[in-house]
Structure 1
């Protein structure tokens, strides 16, 4: 799946349709389908999509075979915004008969127009630490090109902070540290559409090395370190009232933990309590407002990365330190159906202070930054392919970052955060970079 792209995902998806009884083909077809759905605006403008015959085009736009042609296509009212308009057009197209070539062509054109405004996920990395200190810089990935571009910096330098992405496509960065003596309780919010950071209400307590997650209309800030103690305290931010409130504490104070949310619950995984590295796991139920302990990991981990896998109702945790300076490359998976942990494929190297996320409907797993067993700060981005079961180097960030944050946010094609990339693309077109490279090559 390493070569899967918007240029070939349509051909792969259509070509594998007869072969999906085979597990590997089914996995690749699912990844191609996820690519089509995620980047539909780019896919439907591709040459591969345009040259498809009508029946294949309908298959791409109508993946559910249970949708049958009907006579009430015109009964669907026009939609109000770009995302709804595209869904509306696709639904209308799904009702057409394969023989109605003219109607299919018309609606395909309509979809291509509305898809140009589709919100698509953008990957941002935020802050972190390298020599000589904490960072306030932000960058985002052009997924198709595997290149990174700068976005607006935070107002404060932060490493080992918490991050949360809300349903309205804003990024909240919480707490963190700028130095060994400076631990923050401030929070700021990033709007990719305007490329602006805004200070928000501060937490009640300063905390770095915390974890954060969103459940419903609340952002949870869990554990952390305030310069003196490893915290068991928990607080949450109400997105409606814009106020912080205390929540029941963890049973164990922990910093350097991983925090994720799944099925409306908050999981606090591993960390360090000031004496030992932890393998214990706690789960918080916002309905009962109670923490409970569940099955511990197989290995103690401080500073691991964790991602949820909704399809399998599981959580994958990898890397971290088993003791001070002893970084790990092992990975393990918590099956929430059985409540048990099992080993999964190891990472490419030993790492802590890194971050991770799943992408394309959990077809890929990405790991970014961190530090290795040589205490080197890393700018590398690796991708795990569930088909080949291998990690490969994907790209390199613009800066080395340990204790960074990652956020996957839906953005419009015209968001202001893309201004730097548009400027570079324009300068490329105008020959500016070619001239600069020629000067460098000539020793100018």
Structure 2
């Protein structure tokens, strides 16, 4: 990376990977939350710095949805949960701030995992950790629709240790069961 850091949001689209935000160390070894964004091209093996996000964020999640890179939630430099998202359009090299994108999500503790998200068939899904509930995002209304419960106990471990990924045209959820 051009700017070494940890706890960033990331996603890949083919042979390009984006890394957004995270925590880097300043010259005195103190952690700082950044809004730095870089992309890596696997064909050229080159890193490129791109335009910065609107918000500094750590512990965020990233995905590609309908040709754009999204960064969701996370925590700011004051460790406050962010309910906004941001969407990057590579064609215009610009970020759009999406206020309230996660306004209806319950953040149960400051030590919970980044949002558990996955994209299937150009739809964005979220596992709402506190309720063990599957939701789908309506991009036109900026609303998460409830689809029902999942058979894992994501809330027991604040989302850590739970896998929530897309597998082709399906969602994969792995974790301890309710029983």
User: Normalising to structure 2: TM-score of the pair?
Assistant: 0.77
Secondary structure, aligned partner of 2:149: coil
Q: Deviations over 1:348-402 (max 9, x none)?
A: xxxxxxxxxxxxxxxxxxxxxxxxxxxxxxxxxxxxxxxxxxxxxxxxxxxxxxx
Write the distance in 2 (CA, Å) between the matches of 1:175 and 1:204: 10
Q: Is the CA contact (8 Å cut-off) linking 1:284 and 1:292 kept in structure 2?
A: yes
Matched, 1:264 2:122: yes
Larger Rg: 1
Judged with a 3 Å threshold, the aligned counterparts in structure 2 of structure 1 residues 182 and 296 are, in CA distance, closer, same or farther, namely: farther
Structure 2 unaligned segments of length 5 or more: list them.
Answer: 108-112
Matched, 1:222 2:72: yes
Tell me what 2:9 maps to: 162
Judged with a 3 Å threshold, the aligned counterparts in structure 2 of structure 1 residues 253 and 237 are, in CA distance, closer, same or farther, namely: farther
Shift of 1:224: 0.8
Judged with a 3 Å threshold, the aligned counterparts in structure 2 of structure 1 residues 221 and 253 are, in CA distance, closer, same or farther, namely: farther
Structure number with higher strand proportion: 2
Q: Is the CA contact (8 Å cut-off) linking 2:135 and 2:144 kept in structure 1?
A: yes
Across the two proteins, how many residue pairs are aligned to each other? 162
Tell me what 1:241 maps to: 92
Q: Deviations over 1:227-265 (max 9, x none)?
A: 421121111111211111122421126552222111211
Judged with a 3 Å threshold, the aligned counterparts in structure 2 of structure 1 residues 318 and 208 are, in CA distance, closer, same or farther, namely: farther
**Segments of 4+ moved more than 6 angstroms:** none
Tell me what 2:110 maps to: none
**1:30-429 counterparts in 2 under 5 A?**
154-167=1-14, 169-178=15-24, 181-226=31-76, 227-247=78-98, 248-250=100-102, 251-252=104-105, 254=107, 256-271=114-129, 279-298=132-151, 299=153, 300=155, 301-303=158-160, 304-310=162-168, 313-319=169-175, 330=176
Secondary structure, aligned partner of 2:132: strand
Structure 1 unaligned segments of length 5 or more: list them.
Answer: 1-153, 272-276, 320-329, 332-341, 344-444
Shift of 1:181: 4.1
User: Normalising to structure 1: TM-score of the pair?
Assistant: 0.33
Q: Deviations over 1:284-333 (max 9, x none)?
A: 122444322332334124233322123xx4312234xxxxxxxxxx27xx
CA RMSD of aligned residues (A): 2.6
Secondary structure, aligned partner of 2:38: strand
Structure number with higher helix proportion: 1
Judged with a 3 Å threshold, the aligned counterparts in structure 2 of structure 1 residues 296 and 161 are, in CA distance, closer, same or farther, namely: farther
